[in-house]
Amino acid sequence: MDLPAATKDKLKNRSATVGLIGLGYAGLPLACVFAEAGFRTVGFDVDAAKVDALRTGQNYISHIPAQRTGALVEKKRLWPTTDFALLAECDAAIICVPTPLGPGRSPDLTYVLKTVQTIRQYLHRGQLVVLESTSYPGTTDEDILNILNESGLKVGEDFYLAFSPEREDPGNDAFNTRTIPKLVGGVTANCTEVAATAYEQVIEHVVRVSSARVAECAKLLENIYRCVNIAMVNELKLLFDRMNINVWEVIEAASTKPFGFTPFYPGPGLGGHCIPIDPFYLTWKARRYDFATRLIELAGEINASMPLYVVSRLTEGLNLQGKALRTSNVLLIGAAYKKNIEDVRESPALSIIRELDNKLARVSYHDPHVPRLESRHLDREITSVPLTPERLAASDGVVIVTDHTAIDYDMILTHASLVIDTRNATPPFRKEGQRAQVLRA
């Protein structure tokens, strides 16, 4: 039996050991499904606190029950560790580490490349290496392959290299890691087949594509599609506000068309690790081909401007009540980038807080999922405050940034004097007993 066939057989009979590098929002769910499928699964992370939490039956991602990870650890199906020497025992190494932006919105592959350099130290014949972290086309078959080639092993024959983009959507109850179709593109045909075989053991539908670059571009297209369409509807919101037209009603009306229209919704800005960041990986790569991605750049500018628009609407509302933004008590509802999760990465709340701080407002926030807010985007650490009638009444302005299900919006409307609603979380009509003046932003 040749080596690719032997590796595939090992994956099919679940005797392979799978290593997941990066136990965050993408890596931990995938580690769970491999472990639940019967694979010995090793979860690697440089953050000892995460590893310790998992080993002691705790969890740090709210939509993944601690009972789930705790049972897998107890049964020794999942082994969290900071010891990367265990890569030598892994038949597959799947990379799920961050790919942030550096200065000038340039790609920062520091985490990816450091991880690959570590893998190279332990690379062995028959091993599969997969990148799941979003990046520009060419990352897998250029940057990563160049490092792994230093091992002296030959790709497609001695080891296998592929790209398979993560598609996690925290808080989405309609889809999970197993049911979201998985794209797989290898550097060679053997690489594609081995990688696809690995995922077919745990994912319901695996889609092979012709190359790693196609898979890389597909992931970028998915996120650019959302970025551009959200920018369009955000721009329309600005226009319709001036026309005194409710953009949410417009979207609802347009959505009655059964073909040719997909609804996207405005908001206070983009958040999360993907949509605010990933498009600029392609714009950076495009410049190497003397190509200007004007639409992507413009969409980024529009979306990045939305937190400032929210602050301007708050200022307008305070002025109508004879108050200045300076020294006003402002309460933000929600700090996470979307509803019902605790993830604050690139959340528009961070930009709004920073802008309000600069304008000397007194800012506090309430978020049932985010008890403490700290970020490289803030100059201070803030703790979530209780949402009470007294606090609402003492606030000069309340800004709904994240429309968490657990929030009592009726209480907000009853006791606050001014509400800036960025998520259409409040009714379009005035309710009986409502005290608050509502401005949509």
pLDDT tens track for 9-64: 999 999 999 999 999 999 999 999 999 999 999 999 999 999 999 999 999 998 89
Q: Are strands 397-400 and 329-333 parallel, antiparallel or unpaired?
A: parallel
Active site residue 274: yes
Q: How far apart are CA 18 and CA 162, in angstroms?
A: 15
Condensed to tens digits (0 to 9), the pLDDT of residues 272-310 reads 878 888 999 999 999 999 999 999 999 999 999 999 999
Q: How far apart are CA 81 and CA 36, in angstroms?
A: 18
Q: Of 441, 270, 440, 422, which is closest to residue 343 (Cα–Cα)?
A: 270
Q: How far apart are CA 270 and CA 307, in angstroms?
A: 9
**Count of CA atoms in the C-beta half-sphere (13 A) of 96:** 23
Structural domains present in the chain = 3-210 (3.40.50.720), 212-441 (3.40.50.720)
For residue 275, the model assigns a pLDDT of 85
For residue 1, the model assigns a pLDDT of 59
For residue 272, the model assigns a pLDDT of 84
DSSP string, 40-86: EEEEE-S-HHHHHHHHTT--S-TTS-HHHHHHHHHTTSEEEES-GGG
Q: What are the start-end ranges of the H helices in 255-367?
A: 279-287, 294-320, 348-358
Q: Of 106, 132, 141, 138, which is closest to residue 281 (Cα–Cα)?
A: 106
Amino acid found at 25: Y
Active-site pick, 90, 191, 217, 274:
274
Longest Cα–Cα distance in the chain: 81
For residue 369, the model assigns a pLDDT of 96
Average pLDDT over the chain, rounded to an integer: 96
DSSP string, 297-308: HHHHHHHHHHHH
Low-confidence ranges of the chain (pLDDT < 70): 1
For residue 343, the model assigns a pLDDT of 93
For residue 233, the model assigns a pLDDT of 98
